[in-house]
Structure 1
Amino acid sequence: MPFTGLDALLDPTPLPLETGFERDADGVLHIACRTDLHGVSGEMFEWWFRSRPLTQQYIWWHPIDHVASNWVEGVEGELPGSIHLAEERFGHLPAQQVAVQFRDPEEFFTPAAYRQARSEGRITGAVCGRIGNGFDAERDEDGRVLGNRLMHLCRDTPWGSALRSNFYFGVDLVGKLTPQQMAETFTDEFGREVLRHCYNEFTFLSRFLPSLYVGEHRDTIPVPEPW
Protein backbone atom coordinates (compact mmCIF):
# COMPACT_ATOMS: atom_id res chain seq x y z
CA MET A 1 0.00 0.00 0.00
CA PRO A 2 1.58 3.32 -1.03
CA PHE A 3 2.04 6.09 1.52
CA THR A 4 -0.55 8.15 -0.40
CA GLY A 5 -3.27 5.53 0.22
CA LEU A 6 -3.43 5.62 4.01
CA ASP A 7 -7.19 6.17 4.24
CA ALA A 8 -7.56 2.46 3.41
CA LEU A 9 -6.39 1.76 6.98
CA LEU A 10 -9.57 3.38 8.32
CA ASP A 11 -11.64 0.46 6.96
CA PRO A 12 -11.37 -2.85 8.88
CA THR A 13 -11.81 -4.84 5.68
CA PRO A 14 -8.68 -7.02 5.23
CA LEU A 15 -6.00 -5.41 3.10
CA PRO A 16 -3.69 -7.23 0.67
CA LEU A 17 -0.87 -6.73 3.18
CA GLU A 18 -1.87 -6.98 6.84
CA THR A 19 1.41 -8.46 8.06
CA GLY A 20 4.62 -8.36 6.04
CA PHE A 21 6.80 -5.85 4.22
CA GLU A 22 7.12 -4.49 0.70
CA ARG A 23 9.00 -1.80 -1.20
CA ASP A 24 7.42 0.73 -3.53
CA ALA A 25 8.86 2.00 -6.80
CA ASP A 26 10.59 4.93 -5.05
CA GLY A 27 12.34 2.57 -2.65
CA VAL A 28 10.22 3.40 0.42
CA LEU A 29 10.05 0.39 2.75
CA HIS A 30 6.52 -0.32 4.00
CA ILE A 31 6.11 -2.65 7.00
CA ALA A 32 2.67 -3.79 8.17
CA CYS A 33 1.94 -5.74 11.35
CA ARG A 34 -1.37 -6.87 12.81
CA THR A 35 -1.42 -7.80 16.50
CA ASP A 36 -4.42 -9.03 18.49
CA LEU A 37 -4.43 -7.21 21.84
CA HIS A 38 -6.53 -9.38 24.17
CA GLY A 39 -8.15 -7.41 26.98
CA VAL A 40 -6.77 -4.08 25.66
CA SER A 41 -9.02 -1.26 24.43
CA GLY A 42 -8.06 1.56 22.12
CA GLU A 43 -8.29 3.96 25.06
CA MET A 44 -5.84 1.82 27.07
CA PHE A 45 -3.47 1.79 24.11
CA GLU A 46 -3.52 5.58 23.73
CA TRP A 47 -3.18 6.05 27.50
CA TRP A 48 0.01 3.95 27.56
CA PHE A 49 1.69 6.37 25.17
CA ARG A 50 0.26 9.44 26.94
CA SER A 51 1.75 8.12 30.19
CA ARG A 52 5.25 8.63 28.71
CA PRO A 53 6.88 5.36 29.81
CA LEU A 54 10.45 5.88 31.00
CA THR A 55 13.26 3.34 30.89
CA GLN A 56 11.90 0.91 33.52
CA GLN A 57 8.44 0.82 31.96
CA TYR A 58 9.98 0.76 28.48
CA ILE A 59 11.90 -2.41 29.36
CA TRP A 60 8.70 -3.97 30.74
CA TRP A 61 7.18 -3.20 27.35
CA HIS A 62 9.82 -5.24 25.46
CA PRO A 63 12.28 -6.90 27.88
CA ILE A 64 14.52 -8.07 25.04
CA ASP A 65 14.84 -5.16 22.59
CA HIS A 66 14.14 -1.99 24.60
CA VAL A 67 17.17 -0.24 26.10
CA ALA A 68 16.35 3.30 27.27
CA SER A 69 13.52 5.86 27.11
CA ASN A 70 13.08 9.58 27.68
CA TRP A 71 10.54 12.21 26.60
CA VAL A 72 10.88 15.85 25.58
CA GLU A 73 8.67 18.66 24.32
CA GLY A 74 4.89 18.50 24.19
CA VAL A 75 2.58 18.59 27.19
CA GLU A 76 2.54 15.81 29.77
CA GLY A 77 -0.63 13.78 29.39
CA GLU A 78 -1.06 14.73 25.73
CA LEU A 79 0.54 12.89 22.86
CA PRO A 80 0.72 15.17 19.78
CA GLY A 81 3.83 17.33 19.99
CA SER A 82 5.64 14.97 22.37
CA ILE A 83 8.93 13.43 21.27
CA HIS A 84 9.99 9.99 22.48
CA LEU A 85 13.77 9.56 22.58
CA ALA A 86 14.16 5.80 22.45
CA GLU A 87 17.09 3.45 22.24
CA GLU A 88 16.11 0.01 21.05
CA ARG A 89 17.25 -3.04 19.15
CA PHE A 90 15.49 -4.62 16.20
CA GLY A 91 16.20 -8.29 16.69
CA HIS A 92 19.91 -9.07 16.38
CA LEU A 93 20.70 -5.73 14.72
CA PRO A 94 22.70 -3.15 16.73
CA ALA A 95 20.77 -0.83 19.05
CA GLN A 96 19.60 2.41 17.47
CA GLN A 97 18.63 5.81 18.84
CA VAL A 98 15.46 7.26 17.35
CA ALA A 99 13.30 10.32 17.94
CA VAL A 100 9.59 9.65 17.51
CA GLN A 101 7.61 12.87 17.20
CA PHE A 102 3.93 12.14 17.75
CA ARG A 103 1.49 14.01 15.56
CA ASP A 104 -2.27 14.53 15.18
CA PRO A 105 -3.63 11.59 13.14
CA GLU A 106 -5.41 14.08 10.88
CA GLU A 107 -1.98 14.94 9.48
CA PHE A 108 -1.83 11.41 8.05
CA PHE A 109 -5.42 10.78 6.99
CA THR A 110 -8.16 12.78 5.29
CA PRO A 111 -9.54 14.62 8.36
CA ALA A 112 -13.23 14.05 7.60
CA ALA A 113 -12.63 10.34 6.87
CA TYR A 114 -10.64 9.91 10.09
CA ARG A 115 -13.29 11.66 12.21
CA GLN A 116 -16.03 9.49 10.68
CA ALA A 117 -14.03 6.31 11.38
CA ARG A 118 -13.68 7.37 15.03
CA SER A 119 -17.38 8.22 15.35
CA GLU A 120 -18.38 4.85 13.87
CA GLY A 121 -15.97 2.86 16.08
CA ARG A 122 -13.85 1.64 13.17
CA ILE A 123 -10.95 3.36 14.92
CA THR A 124 -10.91 3.49 18.74
CA GLY A 125 -7.25 4.32 19.28
CA ALA A 126 -4.67 6.05 17.12
CA VAL A 127 -0.99 6.80 17.68
CA CYS A 128 0.79 8.38 14.71
CA GLY A 129 4.18 9.98 14.36
CA ARG A 130 7.33 10.86 12.48
CA ILE A 131 10.50 8.85 13.14
CA GLY A 132 13.89 10.51 12.89
CA ASN A 133 17.33 8.91 13.12
CA GLY A 134 19.17 9.86 16.31
CA PHE A 135 18.08 12.01 19.23
CA ASP A 136 18.96 15.17 17.25
CA ALA A 137 16.97 14.12 14.19
CA GLU A 138 16.72 16.53 11.28
CA ARG A 139 13.62 18.76 11.16
CA ASP A 140 11.97 21.02 8.62
CA GLU A 141 11.40 24.75 9.07
CA ASP A 142 8.15 24.05 10.94
CA GLY A 143 9.85 21.76 13.46
CA ARG A 144 8.54 18.51 12.01
CA VAL A 145 10.93 15.58 12.35
CA LEU A 146 12.09 14.28 8.98
CA GLY A 147 12.70 10.69 7.99
CA ASN A 148 10.01 8.06 8.38
CA ARG A 149 6.40 7.57 9.53
CA LEU A 150 4.48 5.27 11.85
CA MET A 151 0.78 4.65 12.41
CA HIS A 152 -0.79 2.42 15.08
CA LEU A 153 -4.58 2.04 14.73
CA CYS A 154 -6.79 0.10 17.17
CA ARG A 155 -10.31 -1.20 16.62
CA ASP A 156 -12.15 -2.47 19.69
CA THR A 157 -13.58 -6.00 19.56
CA PRO A 158 -15.48 -8.19 22.05
CA TRP A 159 -12.15 -9.73 23.11
CA GLY A 160 -9.97 -6.60 23.18
CA SER A 161 -8.75 -4.79 20.09
CA ALA A 162 -7.18 -5.44 16.73
CA LEU A 163 -4.06 -3.36 16.19
CA ARG A 164 -2.78 -2.40 12.76
CA SER A 165 0.76 -1.01 12.80
CA ASN A 166 2.25 0.47 9.64
CA PHE A 167 5.70 1.97 9.09
CA TYR A 168 7.07 3.81 6.07
CA PHE A 169 10.84 4.15 6.04
CA GLY A 170 12.44 6.67 3.68
CA VAL A 171 9.41 8.88 3.00
CA ASP A 172 11.45 12.08 3.24
CA LEU A 173 14.34 10.67 1.21
CA VAL A 174 12.37 10.16 -2.00
CA GLY A 175 14.15 12.13 -4.72
CA LYS A 176 17.26 12.48 -2.58
CA LEU A 177 18.25 8.82 -2.82
CA THR A 178 17.75 6.44 -5.71
CA PRO A 179 15.56 3.37 -5.14
CA GLN A 180 18.74 1.28 -4.99
CA GLN A 181 20.23 3.57 -2.33
CA MET A 182 16.97 3.39 -0.37
CA ALA A 183 17.11 -0.40 -0.47
CA GLU A 184 20.68 -0.30 0.82
CA THR A 185 19.70 2.14 3.62
CA PHE A 186 16.54 0.29 4.70
CA THR A 187 17.31 -3.33 3.89
CA ASP A 188 14.96 -6.28 3.67
CA GLU A 189 16.67 -7.66 6.78
CA PHE A 190 15.77 -4.44 8.60
CA GLY A 191 12.15 -4.84 7.43
CA ARG A 192 11.95 -8.37 8.79
CA GLU A 193 13.41 -7.38 12.15
CA VAL A 194 11.13 -4.33 12.57
CA LEU A 195 8.15 -6.58 11.80
CA ARG A 196 9.25 -9.14 14.39
CA HIS A 197 9.99 -6.37 16.92
CA CYS A 198 6.59 -4.73 16.45
CA TYR A 199 4.61 -7.95 16.88
CA ASN A 200 6.61 -8.90 19.97
CA GLU A 201 6.49 -5.53 21.71
CA PHE A 202 2.72 -5.20 21.46
CA THR A 203 2.14 -8.82 22.42
CA PHE A 204 4.29 -8.20 25.51
CA LEU A 205 2.33 -4.99 26.21
CA SER A 206 -1.05 -6.72 26.00
CA ARG A 207 -0.02 -9.10 28.78
CA PHE A 208 0.16 -6.42 31.49
CA LEU A 209 -1.49 -3.24 30.19
CA PRO A 210 -5.10 -4.11 31.22
CA SER A 211 -4.14 -4.60 34.90
CA LEU A 212 -1.95 -1.50 34.90
CA TYR A 213 -4.71 0.62 33.36
CA VAL A 214 -7.29 -0.58 35.88
CA GLY A 215 -4.93 0.12 38.76
CA GLU A 216 -4.27 3.66 37.53
CA HIS A 217 -8.00 4.39 36.99
CA ARG A 218 -9.60 2.53 39.90
CA ASP A 219 -11.31 5.70 41.16
CA THR A 220 -13.15 6.29 37.88
CA ILE A 221 -13.88 2.84 36.45
CA PRO A 222 -15.29 -0.33 38.02
CA VAL A 223 -12.70 -2.95 38.93
CA PRO A 224 -13.95 -6.53 38.44
CA GLU A 225 -12.92 -8.93 41.19
CA PRO A 226 -11.36 -12.22 40.06
CA TRP A 227 -13.26 -14.10 42.82
Structure 2
Amino acid sequence: MATYQLTAADRASVPTSYPSEERYLGYRDADEAKPYAKYFRADALPMQPHVPEVLLTGMAPSEYGYDIDDAARKLSRPGYHKMETGCTVLDSGVVVVACRTEMPGVTGEMWDWWMGWHSCESARYKLWHPDAHQFTAVGENRLSDRTLTDRQRYVGNVSYVDEYVGGVLTPLAIRFVEPAELGFEDSRPGSTVIAGRVGLSVAPIAFGWLVHQVRGTDSGAEMRSRFFLNHVEHLDLPAAAVATPPAGRAPIAEGDPKSLGLGLLSHCAVEMNHLASFLPALYEEFAEPATARR
Protein backbone atom coordinates (compact mmCIF):
# COMPACT_ATOMS: atom_id res chain seq x y z
CA MET A 1 0.00 0.00 0.00
CA ALA A 2 1.22 3.50 -0.82
CA THR A 3 2.77 5.24 2.17
CA TYR A 4 3.51 8.87 2.93
CA GLN A 5 6.77 10.08 4.51
CA LEU A 6 6.67 13.34 6.43
CA THR A 7 8.84 16.21 5.16
CA ALA A 8 10.31 19.35 6.68
CA ALA A 9 7.36 21.29 5.27
CA ASP A 10 4.99 19.01 7.22
CA ARG A 11 6.74 19.78 10.48
CA ALA A 12 6.90 23.52 9.89
CA SER A 13 4.40 25.72 11.67
CA VAL A 14 1.14 26.54 9.94
CA PRO A 15 1.55 29.68 7.79
CA THR A 16 0.93 32.85 9.79
CA SER A 17 -1.76 33.94 7.33
CA TYR A 18 -3.93 30.92 8.11
CA PRO A 19 -5.73 32.23 11.22
CA SER A 20 -5.66 35.90 10.22
CA GLU A 21 -6.47 36.14 6.51
CA GLU A 22 -10.11 36.90 5.73
CA ARG A 23 -11.93 34.26 3.70
CA TYR A 24 -14.20 35.28 0.83
CA LEU A 25 -15.04 34.28 -2.71
CA GLY A 26 -14.18 36.50 -5.65
CA TYR A 27 -11.96 39.54 -5.94
CA ARG A 28 -11.95 42.75 -3.91
CA ASP A 29 -10.08 46.00 -4.52
CA ALA A 30 -6.73 44.67 -3.27
CA ASP A 31 -7.05 41.64 -5.51
CA GLU A 32 -7.99 43.74 -8.52
CA ALA A 33 -4.69 45.60 -8.13
CA LYS A 34 -2.66 42.44 -8.73
CA PRO A 35 -0.76 42.33 -12.05
CA TYR A 36 -2.55 39.12 -13.05
CA ALA A 37 -6.07 40.30 -12.11
CA LYS A 38 -7.10 40.55 -15.77
CA TYR A 39 -7.21 36.75 -15.82
CA PHE A 40 -9.81 36.59 -13.07
CA ARG A 41 -13.37 35.86 -14.13
CA ALA A 42 -16.24 36.29 -11.69
CA ASP A 43 -17.88 33.08 -12.90
CA ALA A 44 -16.15 29.81 -13.67
CA LEU A 45 -16.55 28.28 -17.09
CA PRO A 46 -18.89 25.29 -17.21
CA MET A 47 -17.51 21.78 -17.17
CA GLN A 48 -16.84 20.06 -20.48
CA PRO A 49 -19.91 18.46 -22.12
CA HIS A 50 -19.10 14.83 -21.30
CA VAL A 51 -19.16 15.40 -17.52
CA PRO A 52 -22.82 16.32 -16.81
CA GLU A 53 -23.97 13.11 -18.51
CA VAL A 54 -21.75 11.11 -16.15
CA LEU A 55 -23.04 12.98 -13.09
CA LEU A 56 -26.63 12.22 -14.12
CA THR A 57 -25.80 8.54 -14.59
CA GLY A 58 -24.55 8.20 -11.02
CA MET A 59 -22.03 5.75 -9.62
CA ALA A 60 -20.10 3.46 -11.97
CA PRO A 61 -19.59 -0.28 -11.34
CA SER A 62 -16.84 -1.04 -8.84
CA GLU A 63 -15.04 -3.12 -11.50
CA TYR A 64 -14.26 0.11 -13.37
CA GLY A 65 -12.12 1.41 -10.51
CA TYR A 66 -8.71 0.62 -9.07
CA ASP A 67 -6.73 1.79 -6.07
CA ILE A 68 -3.71 4.06 -5.67
CA ASP A 69 -1.25 1.15 -5.80
CA ASP A 70 -2.32 0.39 -9.38
CA ALA A 71 -2.48 4.01 -10.54
CA ALA A 72 1.00 4.23 -12.07
CA ARG A 73 0.69 0.93 -13.93
CA LYS A 74 -2.79 1.73 -15.24
CA LEU A 75 -2.18 5.36 -16.20
CA SER A 76 1.17 4.68 -17.85
CA ARG A 77 -0.43 2.50 -20.51
CA PRO A 78 -1.57 4.06 -23.80
CA GLY A 79 -5.26 4.45 -24.47
CA TYR A 80 -8.11 5.02 -22.04
CA HIS A 81 -9.96 3.30 -19.20
CA LYS A 82 -13.60 2.27 -18.91
CA MET A 83 -14.00 5.06 -16.34
CA GLU A 84 -12.09 8.09 -17.57
CA THR A 85 -14.74 10.30 -15.98
CA GLY A 86 -16.90 9.02 -13.15
CA CYS A 87 -17.06 7.81 -9.56
CA THR A 88 -17.22 4.38 -7.99
CA VAL A 89 -16.68 2.60 -4.68
CA LEU A 90 -14.32 -0.38 -4.45
CA ASP A 91 -15.15 -3.42 -2.34
CA SER A 92 -12.58 -2.11 0.16
CA GLY A 93 -14.66 1.05 0.69
CA VAL A 94 -12.23 3.29 -1.21
CA VAL A 95 -14.04 5.92 -3.29
CA VAL A 96 -12.43 6.41 -6.70
CA VAL A 97 -13.04 9.60 -8.70
CA ALA A 98 -11.86 10.05 -12.29
CA CYS A 99 -12.07 13.12 -14.50
CA ARG A 100 -10.66 13.69 -17.98
CA THR A 101 -10.23 17.27 -19.19
CA GLU A 102 -9.14 18.27 -22.68
CA MET A 103 -6.68 21.17 -22.59
CA PRO A 104 -5.84 22.69 -26.00
CA GLY A 105 -2.60 24.67 -26.03
CA VAL A 106 -1.56 23.47 -22.56
CA THR A 107 1.62 21.55 -21.66
CA GLY A 108 2.85 19.67 -18.62
CA GLU A 109 5.50 22.34 -18.09
CA MET A 110 2.73 24.93 -17.64
CA TRP A 111 1.12 22.81 -14.95
CA ASP A 112 4.37 22.31 -13.05
CA TRP A 113 4.89 26.06 -13.09
CA TRP A 114 1.31 26.74 -11.97
CA MET A 115 1.53 24.34 -9.03
CA GLY A 116 4.51 26.22 -7.61
CA TRP A 117 3.34 29.72 -8.53
CA HIS A 118 -0.28 29.85 -7.36
CA SER A 119 -0.06 28.38 -3.87
CA CYS A 120 1.60 31.31 -2.08
CA GLU A 121 -1.23 33.82 -2.59
CA SER A 122 -5.00 33.44 -2.32
CA ALA A 123 -5.67 35.85 -5.20
CA ARG A 124 -3.74 33.52 -7.49
CA TYR A 125 -5.60 30.49 -6.20
CA LYS A 126 -8.96 32.19 -6.87
CA LEU A 127 -8.10 32.37 -10.58
CA TRP A 128 -8.44 28.58 -10.67
CA HIS A 129 -12.06 28.31 -9.48
CA PRO A 130 -13.72 31.65 -8.65
CA ASP A 131 -16.89 29.95 -7.41
CA ALA A 132 -15.14 27.69 -4.89
CA HIS A 133 -11.64 28.84 -3.87
CA GLN A 134 -11.25 31.09 -0.83
CA PHE A 135 -7.75 30.77 0.62
CA THR A 136 -4.32 29.25 0.12
CA ALA A 137 -0.95 29.33 1.83
CA VAL A 138 2.08 27.11 1.48
CA GLY A 139 4.18 25.36 4.11
CA GLU A 140 7.45 26.59 2.62
CA ASN A 141 7.35 29.56 0.24
CA ARG A 142 10.10 28.65 -2.22
CA LEU A 143 9.34 31.13 -5.00
CA SER A 144 12.25 33.40 -4.12
CA ASP A 145 14.79 30.57 -4.48
CA ARG A 146 15.92 31.08 -8.06
CA THR A 147 17.92 27.83 -8.09
CA LEU A 148 14.81 25.64 -7.89
CA THR A 149 12.93 24.13 -10.78
CA ASP A 150 9.18 24.58 -11.00
CA ARG A 151 8.64 21.04 -9.70
CA GLN A 152 10.99 21.57 -6.76
CA ARG A 153 8.87 24.49 -5.64
CA TYR A 154 5.86 22.32 -4.86
CA VAL A 155 7.00 18.69 -4.55
CA GLY A 156 7.70 17.93 -0.89
CA ASN A 157 5.67 20.97 0.11
CA VAL A 158 2.28 21.40 1.80
CA SER A 159 -0.52 23.45 0.27
CA TYR A 160 -3.14 24.68 2.75
CA VAL A 161 -6.39 25.44 0.93
CA ASP A 162 -9.93 26.35 1.92
CA GLU A 163 -12.36 25.54 -0.86
CA TYR A 164 -15.95 24.49 -1.46
CA VAL A 165 -16.31 20.86 -2.56
CA GLY A 166 -19.87 19.77 -3.25
CA GLY A 167 -21.13 22.90 -1.50
CA VAL A 168 -19.19 22.16 1.70
CA LEU A 169 -16.35 24.48 2.75
CA THR A 170 -13.41 22.15 3.22
CA PRO A 171 -10.09 23.05 4.97
CA LEU A 172 -7.49 20.89 3.22
CA ALA A 173 -3.78 20.23 3.45
CA ILE A 174 -2.39 18.71 0.26
CA ARG A 175 1.08 17.20 0.54
CA PHE A 176 2.74 16.84 -2.85
CA VAL A 177 5.03 13.89 -3.48
CA GLU A 178 7.39 12.76 -6.20
CA PRO A 179 5.35 10.69 -8.66
CA ALA A 180 8.17 8.14 -8.64
CA GLU A 181 7.20 7.31 -5.05
CA LEU A 182 3.93 5.96 -6.46
CA GLY A 183 5.63 4.12 -9.31
CA PHE A 184 5.48 6.68 -12.11
CA GLU A 185 8.46 7.01 -14.43
CA ASP A 186 9.77 10.31 -15.82
CA SER A 187 7.22 12.07 -18.02
CA ARG A 188 7.77 12.79 -21.67
CA PRO A 189 8.30 16.41 -22.79
CA GLY A 190 4.99 18.26 -22.68
CA SER A 191 3.63 15.89 -20.04
CA THR A 192 3.82 15.64 -16.26
CA VAL A 193 2.31 13.86 -13.26
CA ILE A 194 1.20 15.71 -10.13
CA ALA A 195 0.69 13.50 -7.08
CA GLY A 196 -0.23 14.19 -3.48
CA ARG A 197 -1.58 12.99 -0.15
CA VAL A 198 -4.84 14.74 0.73
CA GLY A 199 -5.84 15.54 4.29
CA LEU A 200 -7.32 18.15 6.59
CA SER A 201 -5.47 21.28 7.66
CA VAL A 202 -7.35 21.44 10.99
CA ALA A 203 -6.52 17.89 12.12
CA PRO A 204 -3.49 15.58 11.68
CA ILE A 205 -5.52 13.36 9.38
CA ALA A 206 -4.93 12.27 5.79
CA PHE A 207 -7.82 10.64 3.96
CA GLY A 208 -6.93 10.31 0.29
CA TRP A 209 -4.51 10.46 -2.62
CA LEU A 210 -4.64 12.46 -5.83
CA VAL A 211 -2.96 12.00 -9.19
CA HIS A 212 -3.21 14.41 -12.13
CA GLN A 213 -1.60 12.98 -15.26
CA VAL A 214 -1.07 15.64 -17.90
CA ARG A 215 -0.60 13.75 -21.16
CA GLY A 216 0.40 15.41 -24.42
CA THR A 217 -2.02 15.38 -27.36
CA ASP A 218 -1.95 16.73 -30.92
CA SER A 219 -3.76 19.89 -29.77
CA GLY A 220 -1.97 20.37 -26.44
CA ALA A 221 -2.71 18.09 -23.51
CA GLU A 222 -5.36 16.19 -21.62
CA MET A 223 -5.50 15.85 -17.85
CA ARG A 224 -6.52 12.50 -16.40
CA SER A 225 -7.32 13.19 -12.75
CA ARG A 226 -7.73 10.42 -10.18
CA PHE A 227 -8.72 10.68 -6.51
CA PHE A 228 -8.63 7.79 -4.07
CA LEU A 229 -10.64 8.63 -0.94
CA ASN A 230 -11.11 6.79 2.35
CA HIS A 231 -7.42 6.04 2.86
CA VAL A 232 -7.44 7.37 6.42
CA GLU A 233 -4.16 7.85 8.31
CA HIS A 234 -3.18 9.73 11.45
CA LEU A 235 -0.09 11.84 10.73
CA ASP A 236 2.52 12.34 13.43
CA LEU A 237 2.57 16.12 13.14
CA PRO A 238 3.72 18.59 15.79
CA ALA A 239 0.92 20.69 17.27
CA ALA A 240 2.19 23.83 15.53
CA ALA A 241 1.68 22.15 12.14
CA VAL A 242 -2.08 21.68 12.70
CA ALA A 243 -4.22 24.70 11.94
CA THR A 244 -6.81 26.24 14.22
CA PRO A 245 -9.89 27.25 12.23
CA PRO A 246 -10.36 31.02 11.90
CA ALA A 247 -12.83 32.56 14.32
CA GLY A 248 -16.36 31.45 13.62
CA ARG A 249 -15.26 28.67 11.29
CA ALA A 250 -15.80 25.10 12.51
CA PRO A 251 -13.87 22.10 11.17
CA ILE A 252 -15.57 20.09 8.44
CA ALA A 253 -17.97 17.43 9.66
CA GLU A 254 -17.60 13.86 8.47
CA GLY A 255 -19.81 13.25 5.44
CA ASP A 256 -20.90 10.53 3.05
CA PRO A 257 -17.91 9.38 0.94
CA LYS A 258 -20.11 8.88 -2.13
CA SER A 259 -21.47 12.42 -1.92
CA LEU A 260 -17.94 13.73 -1.46
CA GLY A 261 -16.82 11.76 -4.49
CA LEU A 262 -19.51 13.16 -6.79
CA GLY A 263 -18.95 16.65 -5.42
CA LEU A 264 -15.23 16.31 -6.06
CA LEU A 265 -15.86 15.14 -9.62
CA SER A 266 -17.94 18.23 -10.34
CA HIS A 267 -15.39 20.50 -8.66
CA CYS A 268 -12.47 19.01 -10.58
CA ALA A 269 -14.29 19.16 -13.92
CA VAL A 270 -14.99 22.87 -13.50
CA GLU A 271 -11.65 24.04 -12.11
CA MET A 272 -9.48 22.17 -14.60
CA ASN A 273 -11.48 23.33 -17.61
CA HIS A 274 -11.59 26.91 -16.31
CA LEU A 275 -7.86 27.24 -15.66
CA ALA A 276 -6.89 25.54 -18.90
CA SER A 277 -8.73 28.25 -20.85
CA PHE A 278 -6.17 30.92 -19.89
CA LEU A 279 -3.18 29.00 -18.50
CA PRO A 280 -1.10 29.33 -21.72
CA ALA A 281 -1.47 33.13 -21.69
CA LEU A 282 -0.82 33.37 -17.94
CA TYR A 283 2.28 31.20 -18.28
CA GLU A 284 3.57 33.23 -21.21
CA GLU A 285 3.27 36.46 -19.22
CA PHE A 286 4.38 35.43 -15.72
CA ALA A 287 6.57 32.32 -15.92
CA GLU A 288 10.21 33.12 -15.42
CA PRO A 289 12.41 31.39 -18.00
CA ALA A 290 14.41 28.54 -16.50
CA THR A 291 17.63 30.14 -17.74
CA ALA A 292 16.88 33.24 -15.64
CA ARG A 293 16.60 31.22 -12.46
CA ARG A 294 20.07 29.76 -12.53
1:171–1:210 Cα change, 3 Å:
same
In structure 1, give the amino acid aligned to 2:79. Answer: T
1:102 equivalenced with 2:176 (yes/no): yes
**Residue aligning to 1:187:** 257
Which position in structure 1 is the counterpart of 2:268? Answer: 198
Aligned counterpart for 2:85 among listed residues 12, 15, 19: 19
Q: Does 1:207 align with 2:272?
A: no
Q: Distance in 2 between matches of 1:212 and 1:72?
A: 24
Question: Is the Cα–Cα contact under 8 Å of residues 175 and 197 in structure 2 kept in the other structure?
Answer: yes
Partner of 1:181: none
Instruction: Tell me the TM-score normalised to structure 2 length.
Output: 0.62
The question of whether the paired residues in 1 share the 8 Å contact of 2:113 and 2:287 is answered with: no
Identity %: 28
- The structural deviation recorded for 1:188 is 2.0
Aligned counterpart, 1:165: 225
C-alpha contact (below 8 Å) 1:99/1:136 kept by paired residues: no
> Does the Cα contact within 8 Å between 1:35 and 1:203 map onto a contact in 2?
yes
CA offsets, 1:183-203, max 9 Å, x none?
x84432221110010010011
Aligned mates of 1:130, 1:219 — CA distance in 2: 29
CA distance in 1, matches of 2:127, 2:141: 24
**Aligned pair partner of 1:64 in 122, 131, 135:** 131
- Displacement after TM superposition at 1:134 (Å): 2.7
The count of aligned residue pairs is 196
Distance 1:124 1:162 in 2: 9
User: Deviation of residue 157 (structure 1)?
Assistant: 1.4
Q: Distance in 2 between matches of 1:152 and 1:16?
A: 17
Distance 1:52 1:59, change over 3 A: closer
| Mapped pair 1:148 → 2:223 | no
Give the Cα separation in 2 of the matches to 1:187 and 1:74. 32
CA displacement at 1:218 relative to structure 2: 7.4
Distance 1:124 1:135 in 2: 33
In the alignment, structure 1 residue 85 sits paired with structure 2 residue 160: yes
- 2:174 match: secondary structure: strand
Calculate the TM-score normalised by the size of structure 1: 0.79
- 2:181 and 2:290 map into 1 onto residues whose CA distance is 32
Match of 1:5 in 2: 70
RMSD of aligned residue pairs (Cα, Å)? 2.2
